[in-house]
Amino acid sequence: MAPASAAPSHHQVLIVGGGTAGITVAARLRRAGIRHVTLLEPSETHWYQPLWTLVGGGQAPLRASLRTEADVIPPGVRWLRERATAVDPTARTVTTASGRVLSYGRLVLAPGLQLDWDGVPGLSAALGHGGVSSNYRPDLAPLTWDLIRRMRSGTAVFTMPSGPVKCGGAPQKIAYLAADHWRKRGVLGAIRTILVLPEPAMFKVPVFDRALTETARRYGIEVRLSSEMTRLDGAAREAEITDHGTGKTETVHYDLLHAVPPQRAPEWLADGPLADPDSPHGYVKTDRETLRHPDFPNVFALGDVAHLPTSKTGAAIRKQAPVVVANLLAGLRGRPATARYNGYTSCPLVTARHKMLLAEFDYELQHTPSIPFLDTTRERTDMWFLKRYGLPQLYFKGMLKGLA
């Protein structure tokens, strides 16, 4: 559908963000019979981002992750192709980049997060050339694969920043895909592979931590826990790695570097009244069960921008969206918010070209498998096919249609 050329100043339900969370909520609200739903989203492109790891690993074409935004806007939803720049929850208004002021009855915040490429000195300048790439940018994911398939010897470094990031398993998955490719090409022994992780364990859930530790051992990957890349010299091809446990730093010369940038909430939210003071990255204060803002009950947040103690994944959004919609509808009907989110999230952990673990867990880090008759704690080929072919179909034909 074409974006609206004009819009009323007041909106019954205003959704900020037309990514996974925003479209899913909009579709569910329309199916629930809410007629006046407005979506604020400046982009003309909609990406299925979980596929970018497979693009970087040479297992999927980039075009498979792409749709136009117009193609995914639910029928009957008013689309304003603008960017939010401020929110006033007391006045119940959102201001856009053009200066338009929109008032709302209910506000759903789903603008995603901001990639801070300048958060590591030297990273922004080095990105895209000199052996440096990142699957967190769609234009660079094909470059990642080009670097991997051309490499025959040398040092490859894969990094993850501290703080919450979207798809927390992605920084590891590309390392395993690269190592498996090099193994099959017979060059793995000539390549030193270093995986830099900020946490004290490879994964917070013990059963998956053990599995990933074994995966890294199998490929001969040097894992640096509680560590982070703190500086990059693209001209010299040198990365500074700091061990936060000891405070020591080392400089590693690399031939290939896959970097994941620090991430934070969009500035207009991080600097505004809805940010959680307990979140150093500016994410929105959100009740972990109802997904409402504790101080402004007509404001909901979900997806990457919500400050919740769970991983930022599309699988989490699939469980969050029904809760947001149910509690929003309850408020419109003068009823209490009774729907609850238990923190469920899922990380499909690709460990080889056709192997994957499916890590599913909740707020308490309890393993919560959705396919109980399959052991998804071990590497499985069927789980890889689920990620490559099943989950994209579930996304485009299920989640974005308000059906799954």
Instruction: Measure the CA angle with vertex 398, ends 394 and 401; round to 5°.
Output: 145
Task: Using the structure block, give the residue that is written with the tokens 């895909």.
Answer: 177
Task: Using the structure block, give the residue that is written with the tokens 């001209």.
Answer: 235
Residues involved in catalysis:
167, 347
Distances (CA, A) of 221 to 132, 218, 243, 354: 19, 8, 17, 19
DSSP sequence for 197-257: -SSSSS-SSHHHHHHHHHHHHHHT-EEETTEEEEEEETTTTEEEEEETTT--EEEEE-SEE
163 vs 180: CA distance, rounded Å: 28
Helix (H) or strand (E) holding 78: strand 78-80
Query: DSSP label at 380?
Result: B
Here the tokens at position 111 are 């603008």
Distances (CA, A) of 34 to 7, 78, 318: 17, 12, 20
The amino acid present at 52, given as its one-letter code, is W
The amino acid present at 238, given as its one-letter code, is E
CB atoms closer than 10 angstroms to residue 40: 25
The amino acid present at 344, given as its one-letter code, is Y
